[in-house]
């Protein structure tokens, strides 16, 4: 244990740190929000892209423990390096994100005598291989606690990993409401994109991957544009699956949507938030989600949302009150709900206001940190 008065050292360990948003975005917010008189932290990863600008002002060290395959022999060197770091830096909590960090990092932490080992579960297990599923069941006792990002992820974790339900708690993602409110530049962005003043704007944010369902969005867009010919669909996100990106652009051509769809690529957070404030509707057509940061940010910016009934989304979005929930893959339903919002601007505005209030009351970053720190204190107290 650390001497009295010494901040407790937390090591956050994540598979890949490239600054691409999602779980990485949540993790990179944590160091600036932890109570610094009680906790200090290091972020560790097995694969790092240090040139990303998100690391420039990060208020904690970032350490790479290079490894390409968690089940390969090369993992031994990373494990030994990680063990030396844990012991020399007196790490008292190891908090892991994703499969390699959970399985390799969790095992090394436990064998190194770390008092508290926590796993953060962010999705519905879509990235797991058969080996991962077997390993999780065998190693479920490694963790003092599992923190699930939504109730749906919690239930999936208990069922898939056969883990004691008392060990699994729900801590939803949190959004920095003040930063959303301060984001400006919507007018400049409107001019930069060359958008027409009377164009209805529908936005979607997410990495370009098949699981995000952008092909469903494009088919919904084709129906919307038959009624609203000037409607513009803006898709924001880094290409993670190039073949998916190619297929989406071909689908745009096939559906004759070249004038209605724009792929904006990766934007910095402030630009994303400004863009959200510029738009009329947010649409999330995902096939799987744990709890979507993009959805929370859209709601926090006051946008009415149309999203699929997957993962933790129904825990965030109330159908008919803060937006609409539609079945996954159902582009007809998505198109109809988008058009319902475009056809009732005042009703859509009221939905957006209610959505923002929900985020402010239930999904703030401060609320997330309070829950996390409360769990840290409880677990460390139990270990003492």
Residue 53, H or E segment:
none
* Residue 176 near residue 200, CB atoms below 8 Å: no
Q: What is the rounded radius of gyration, in angstroms, for the C-alpha atoms of the chain? A: 21
DSSP secondary structure letters along 188-249 = HHHHHHT--TT--EEEEES-B-GGG-HHHHHHHHHHHHHH-TT-EEEEE--BS-HHHHHHHH
Closest CA to 323 of 332, 313, 310: 313
For 346, counting Cβ atoms within 10 Å of its Cβ (0-12 exposed, 13-18 middle, 19+ buried), the class is exposed
Name the CATH topology of 177-362: Rossmann fold (3.40.50)
Same fold for the pair 8-174+364-383 and 177-362: yes
Q: How far apart are CA 326 and CA 348, in angstroms?
A: 16
> Count of alpha carbons within 13 Å of 90, Cβ hemisphere only?
9
Q: How far is CA 254 from the centre of its chain?
A: 31
Q: Give the model's pLDDT for residue 52.
A: 62
CA 318, CA 246: separation in Å to the nearest integer? 34
Decide: residue 371, CB within 10 A, 0-12 exposed, 13-18 middle, 19+ buried.
middle
pLDDT at 182: 86
**Residues forming beta bridges with residue 169, ordered by sequence position:** 147
CA angle, 298 then 259 then 294, to 5°: 15
pLDDT at 138: 87
Q: Which pLDDT value is given to residue 20?
A: 60
Name the superfamily (CATH) of residues 8-174+364-383: Glycogen Phosphorylase B; (3.40.50.2000)
Closest CA to 201 of 170, 233, 177: 233
pLDDT, position 352: 97
For the chain (384 residues), the mean pLDDT of every run of 10, in chain order, is 76 84 84 93 86 72 83 79 96 94 94 96 85 86 95 95 95 91 77 80 96 98 97 95 97 97 90 92 96 95 97 96 97 98 97 96 94 96 65
Domain ranges, ordered by start, for the chain? 8-174+364-383, 177-362
How far apart CA 92 and CA 11 sit, in angstroms, is 8
């Amino acid at each position: 244990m650390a001497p009295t008065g010494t901040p407790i050292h937390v090591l956050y360990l994540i598979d890949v740190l490239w600054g691409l948003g999602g779980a990485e975005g949540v993790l990179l917010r944590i160091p600036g929000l932890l109570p610094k008189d009680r906790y200090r932290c290091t972020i560790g990863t097995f694969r790092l892209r240090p040139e990303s600008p998100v690391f420039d002002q990060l208020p904690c060290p970032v350490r790479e423990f290079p490894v390409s395959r968690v089940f390969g022999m090369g993992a031994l060197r990373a494990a030994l390096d990680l063990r030396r770091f844990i012991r020399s830096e007196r790490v008292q909590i190891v908090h892991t994100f994703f499969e390699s960090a959970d399985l390799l990092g969790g095992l090394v932490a436990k064998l190194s005598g770390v008092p508290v080992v926590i796993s953060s579960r962010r999705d519905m297990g879509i990235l797991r291989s058969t080996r991962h599923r077997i390993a999780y069941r065998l190693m479920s006792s490694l963790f003092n606690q599992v923190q699930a990002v939504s109730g749906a992820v919690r239930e999936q974790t208990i069922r898939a990993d056969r883990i004691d339900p008392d060990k699994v708690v729900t801590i939803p993602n949190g959004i920095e409401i003040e930063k959303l409110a301060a984001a400006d530049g919507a007018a400049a962005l409107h001019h930069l994109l060359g958008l027409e003043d009377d164009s209805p704007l529908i936005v979607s944010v997410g990495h370009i991957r098949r699981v995000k369902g952008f092909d469903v969005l494009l088919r919904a867009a084709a129906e919307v544009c038959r009624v609203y010919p000037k409607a513009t669909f803006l898709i924001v996100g880094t290409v993670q699956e190039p073949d998916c990106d190619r297929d989406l652009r071909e689908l745009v051509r096939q559906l004759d949507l070249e004038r209605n769809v724009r792929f904006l690529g990766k934007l910095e957070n402030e630009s994303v938030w400004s863009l959200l404030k510029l738009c009329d509707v947010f649409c999330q057509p995902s096939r799987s989600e744990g709890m979507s940061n993009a959805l929370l940010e859209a709601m926090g910016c006051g946008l009415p949302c149309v999203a699929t009934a997957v993962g933790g989304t129904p825990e965030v979005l109330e159908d008919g009150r803060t937006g609409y929930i539609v079945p996954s893959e159902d582009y007809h339903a998505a198109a109809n709900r988008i058009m319902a919002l475009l056809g009732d601007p005042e009703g859509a505005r009221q939905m957006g206001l209610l959505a923002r209030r929900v985020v402010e009351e239930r999904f703030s970053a401060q609320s997330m940190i309070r829950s996390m720190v409360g769990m840290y204190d409880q677990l460390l107290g139990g270990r003492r």
